[in-house]
Structure 1
């Protein structure tokens, strides 16, 4: 065995063009070792020497195996050190969350009750897809919903466009695509995630950045720092560990379809894109097809499909006249061709007692039938409560239409930044008036006047602060809990400057009101000197104090655990806890700072021979009241939860546009199938329903 090894070693060394000395030098062994192994003088080389010689000879695969076998041993397997991969762990957590979400959604929408509708598709016209040379091998793209993953994998580029009319079943198809792909997913495969394209503005934000923002919105744990800076969400997108399922290209705002298609063509990401046919065709004619993408068109349901499905949805023998009418053609045959309209008909007539689908036969126009189905859906779902609920749904749909989105984002209730600024200002002013009156003024006439002036000034200042912050972008939900970060960033500096500016303005206003009050009560009070001292002292102290607490607020933000934000209600509750915790922190910090800072300033003024009356107890009391008022003002004016409370829980219900128990109403609408959930937001079950309710306003 050893002689065979010696012969093989000499042969391999000569093939590599090495002398014994050169091989010994490269393998870092002695020349006598190499010579002894080749001549058979040395036997049984140890494993370390074998690995060093194999590496120096650059042996791989079969040659390396033969080399060790000739020495009478198998190469010992070296265990690779286990390395923690944060992206792999994040992808696996994301996979679990996505799968659970869309399984619940399928159950909620009764996709499998009693059987799925047979959604099918055929290859799209050639002008709507790229050339097969770019796609990667021509393939048959026809199929049905349970074959969607198989068809997608036939596309070499892994870029597929799914086209269909409104309500054709594109969303049902994407849901099934995600669940089937996750079922067959290997740990190294990307996680398919559905993104609703209606909120994407391609001229303001790139696709990858927008996807990362959407991931963080729906899965807050992905806001954690990534391995190379940025967030875990951005790292997952950049590493192509997320497969984007882009639902609703047609729902992108008018005028942005062509820029959106151009933006998609700058990427090489594998993806699945859905759209109505006309909007996609217009974008293609104005620019080009989606690069390297194949395309399919969802087919209409047939009379045989309806005959196999509708009778199964009820034990009542009521569908025969409708099915006969569909087979004979006419308006019903033009309407009951999409899963949306069939699902509405099923909900209205199969799932509701004493409703006979034969009433559909009295309509003689397809549009009239569609309006009837859309209009009858809510009465069928809500029964006697329908009349009370429809105005709320109408306001909700109108609100979304004005925002140009399909997402019911709880943090965006309200109107324009100017209007919300006025509302926030009034609320903050009233709250601060109550605090000042009760704590400091003891409800005297003079005290109430003083509190009113302070409340008015505070309301104006924080109303302006709210307007200043939201004029560029709406307040986003704070996905944080109370814990101090190690490093401070731009956000901390920006919020500290904001606190310095508006806190200084609030302090100056307080000083002006205080000086005015003293002048009115004490005629000998020096107006000029008193105003300068009071305004200067309080502007400086309140400005620095507000800058300190605003900076601390920004520094004390870290991502929430995914389990604490699994639904819109969970996200609201998490933000409520966070805001209340921040207010509880602001009050004592601001109070202690004001007491200490005013003591220092007053000491300096006294040294300069100013006559200033000051006591630590009064300063601490002032700090506590200012902290309470400022903390409340911050929570109401500069957090998404505060805006939600003021508008969604108070103003809009007070004016009758939404119910008082809005979260319960939205959850109930979801359970009844009027709304659907998409991560941290609700959406109408279908865009057609949103359009219908918006027209009722």
Structure 2
């Protein structure tokens, strides 16, 4: 397992190195985070923590660059990091992971930073951790030497050091159980949390067994002023080098005890607020930070914090030449960005998760609404394909003329569209028993290898046979009773009779649909070890899988449908009629299958078409999300995105419209 562990370590190191660059943690220099030992009531007994330690007492105090050194001194390699909102817990955890990765020896554990907010303690920690690993690194689903997924082998053999970020994001009622599971887990770990939530869960327990507990302290004022000055552009035409922050710093030095200066010092005591102040004022030359000293507008430190959070989006989406990647040429205005990000924040709040996954965006609609959208879209596909497809069939295979062919094509298209929408809508309804389909970490392979069979194969076979038979029965009834009898548009191409058609056609179509779904399921295999786990890569991989599924559908279902129609057609026209109908079924059925029964298809139908039509999301959704990462509103974590700050997520949830203080 040394090679998979080495590969995982390399990917984690490169990702967090790049993420720190995107967050500008080292530009112009890191803020001086400091930490100290937490209160005794929040820790296990000192004797338990130091058990097995040969050296003297453990010194729990230091700065950002010392965290890895102190962690290595903890005998059990179990550390809890506490800090209030925005205090830099995630920054410290990431710094620890990067430092450990940079100096990792071949047989050492691989630190993996994961957000704990999506974990439910009724799921075994190892199983949940495996799911996060495979989601973010799909190649870990590849079957290893022990006939298990590589990720399962890494977790089971103790190669993973979980860095669990955000214990406070677990639901209130689940935290005591979650803490008990973490306390009893027999593995090294790092856990971050806000102090109050952790203290409530710890009450009456030993906390995380054998874990050292540290707490981040407020930033020193000298560090804040130095950082903001170095991060701001110099002012021109002055007798000395100054920045827009200098008048603020002078006021803080001359009147340190006034309520207005005390509020500002308190507000800028966390790295989050300092970073926001930099974005809102240092990156925007037209804005004057002395407004933060207005005691009539900002009566408390909380008012200043709310002001900074509320102005992040307007400031981040202001035009800042050179601030963004040259690939992001599209400029999203602040009003659009605020509305769309607010929609995403509300979506995450409803799901009670910090993870923004592209395949989950459809769940912003109710199951009934999703089914309706899928039914309408698949119905429109059948309407267009069968309506247009019947016209050349009747022109070539009959002598009724163009007018008849057009009228029959229109009627058949509308009726078949209703049937197709109904059948695929019902299929989607029964397939979508929980929320929306998740992208499976699989690929399509024709060679021998491990397959994804069992319940998945059985379910798809049942859906295919049932849906195909229902579709076949409805098509026969509509064609014979409505198109031919009621509308008088019988083209004379079928001769088998109603009863025989009701038996033969649905049976063949049902078997064909079941064969298609069974075939693509049999062809599925864990994804290639060379694939990666970014959101765009996972999206591309699932699109490729969809195209292969549609190709199999076209070949198998189109052939079966063509044969079925050939048996029912008149002898002189059986081959060309069967071929034409087979092509219709292949094209329409393949598209509808992709939209209704694959994660990428549902994402395309719901998140790329329906939600933009309703102005809930932008048309260039992936471009917008990646742009939001560049601007500091979102961050990428493996195969998902997250809001950069929980305060920003809460603010956007409550304020769908921009509320911005005019520049002064």
Residue aligned with 1:295, SS: strand
CA distance in 1, matches of 2:279, 2:546: 42
Deviation of 1:531 after TM superposition, in Å, equals 4.3
The aligned runs of 1:256-335 (5 Å cut-off) are 256-285=174-203, 289-314=207-232, 315=234, 316-323=242-249, 324-325=251-252, 327-328=256-257, 330-335=262-267
Deviations along 1:483-528, whole A, 9 cap, x unmatched? 13545521223322221222222222222222223333389x9xxx
1:651 Cα shift?
1.3
Q: 2:437 aligns with which of 464, 475, 484?
A: 475
Answer yes or no: is 1:404 the counterpart of 2:352. yes
d(CA) in 2 for partners of 1:460 and 1:292?
A: 59
In structure 2, the residue matched to 1:506 is 471
Deviations 1:180-211 (A, max 9, x none): 000111111111111111111222x2211111
Counterpart check, 1:367 vs 2:326: no
Three-state SS of the structure 1 residue aligned to 2:273 is helix
Deviates more, 1:461-470 or 1:666-675: 461-470
1:263-320 deviation line (CA, Å, top 9, x unaligned): 3234212100111111111222276512222211111112122133222212343323
Runs of 4 or more consecutive aligned structure 1 residues displaced over 6 Å after TM superposition: 611-614
**Higher deviation after alignment, 145-154 or 252-261:** 252-261
Structure 1 distance, partners of 2:437, 2:206, is 37
- Runs of 5+ unmatched residues, structure 1: 1-86, 604-610
Q: Does 1:226 align with 2:141?
A: no
Whole-Å Cα distance in 1 between the matches of residues 49 and 139 of structure 2?
Answer: 36
> For each residue in 1:519-570, what CA deviation from the matched residue of structure 2 results, as whole angstroms up to 9, or x when unmatched?
33389x9xxx954432322221111111111011112223334654342222
Residue deviations 1:20-53, cap 9 Å, x none? Answer: xxxxxxxxxxxxxxxxxxxxxxxxxxxxxxxxxx
The reply to whether residue 449 of structure 1 matches residue 416 of structure 2 is no
- Which residue in 2 is equivalent to 1:572? 539
1:386 aligns with 2:351: no
Deviation at 1:478, TM superposition (A): 4.0
Contact 1:149 1:180 in 2 (8 A): yes
Q: Matched residue of 2:203: which SS?
A: helix
Whole-angstrom CA distance in 1 between matches of 2:279 and 2:568: 74
SS at 2:87's partner residue? Answer: coil
The corresponding residue for 2:513 is 546
- In structure 2, what is the Cα distance between the partners aligned to 1:321 and 1:125? 38
User: Could you say which structure has the greater relative contact order, defined with CA pairs below 8 angstroms and 6 or more residues apart?
Assistant: 2
TM-score if structure 2 supplies the norm length?
A: 0.85
How far has the Cα of 1:409 moved from its partner?
0.7
The answer to whether residue 91 in structure 2 is matched with residue 165 in structure 1 is: no
1:119 maps to what in 2?
33
Distance change >3 Å, CA 487–CA 572, structure 1 → 2:
closer
Q: Deviations over 1:573-614 (max 9, x none)?
A: 222222122212210121223344677x879xxxxxxx9998
Alpha-carbon contact 1:165-1:276 (below 8 Å) kept: yes
- Residue 687 (structure 1) shift: 1.0
Task: Return closer, same or farther for 1:534/1:285 CA change in 2, 3 Å cut-off.
Answer: farther
- Equivalent position SS for 2:134: helix
Q: Does the aligned pair in 2 maintain the 1:258–1:286 contact within 8 Å?
A: no
For 1:608, the equivalent position in structure 2 comes to none
Out of 459, 479, 494, which is 1:494 matched to?
Answer: 459
Equivalent residues in 2 for 1:76-87, closer than 5 Å: 87=1
1:310 partner SS: helix
Contact 1:515/1:534 (8 A) holds in 2:
no
Q: 2:635 aligns with which of 667, 676, 681?
A: 676
> 2:383, 2:413 within 8 Å by CA — same for their partners in 1?
yes
Please give the alpha-carbon distance, in whole angstroms, between the structure 2 residues aligned to 1:475 and 1:113: 41
**Following the alignment from structure 1 to structure 2, what is the Cα–Cα distance between the partners of residues 383 and 618?**
60
Shift of residue 388, structure 1, vs aligned partner: 2.9
SS in 2 for 1:240: coil
Q: Is the 8 A contact 1:435 1:629 kept in 2?
A: yes
Q: 1:590 aligns with which of 530, 540, 557?
A: 557
Deviations 1:112-140 (A, max 9, x none): 11110111111111221212233234522
Counterparts of 1:129 and 1:597, CA distance in 2 = 72
Aligned pair 1:97/2:11, yes or no?
yes
Deviations 1:79-135 (A, max 9, x none): xxxxxxxx2221111111111100000001110111101111111112212122332
Report the 3-state secondary structure (helix = DSSP H, G, I; strand = E; otherwise coil) of the residue aligned with 1:317: coil
Which residue is equivalent to 2:271? 339
Closer, same or farther: CA 426–254 of 1 in aligned 2, 3 Å:
farther
Larger Rg: 1
SS at match of 1:245: strand
Aligned to 2:373: 423
Counterpart Cα distance in 2 of 1:552 and 1:410: 27
Q: Take 1:481 and 1:602, find their aligned partners in 2: how far apart are those partners?
A: 38
Counterpart contact for 1:163–1:170, Cα < 8 Å:
yes
Offset, 1:169:
0.2
Distance in 2, matches of 1:266 and 1:422, equals 47
Asked whether the equivalents of residues 450 and 526 of structure 2 are also in contact (C-alpha less than 8 Å), the reply is no
Taking a change above 3 Å as real, the CA distance of residues 337 and 680 of structure 1, as seen in their structure-2 partners, is same
Distance in 2, Cα, partners of 1:533 & 1:252: 60
1:436 aligned residue (374, 386, 394): 386
Distance in 1 of aligned mates of 2:642 and 2:222: 32
Deviation by residue 1:652-693 (Cα, 9 ceiling, x = unmatched): 111111111111111111111111110111111111111111
Which residue is equivalent to 2:328? Answer: none
Q: Which string of whole-angstrom CA distances, capped at 9 and with x for unpartnered residues, describes residues 195-233 of structure 1?
A: 111111222x22111111111111111111133233111
Q: Does 1:110 align with 2:24?
A: yes
Contact 2:80/2:212, CA 8 A, preserved across alignment = yes
Aligned residue-pair number: 600
* Aligned positions of 1:587-626 closer than 5 A: 587-596=554-563, 615-626=574-585
- Please tell me whether residue 689 in structure 1 is matched to residue 648 in structure 2: yes
1:416-463, CA deviations, whole angstroms, 9 ceiling, x for partnerless residues? Answer: 222211111111111111111011245623332222222112212212
* Inter-CA distance 389–294: structure 2 relative to 1 (3 Å threshold): same
Partner Cα separation in structure 2 for residue 271 and residue 566 of structure 1: 23
Contact 1:541 1:598 in 2 (8 A): no
Gaps in structure 2 of 5+ consecutive residues: 52-56, 235-241, 320-332, 393-404, 657-664
CA contact (8 A) 1:221 1:560 kept: yes
Contact 1:114-1:312 at 8 Å conserved across structures: yes
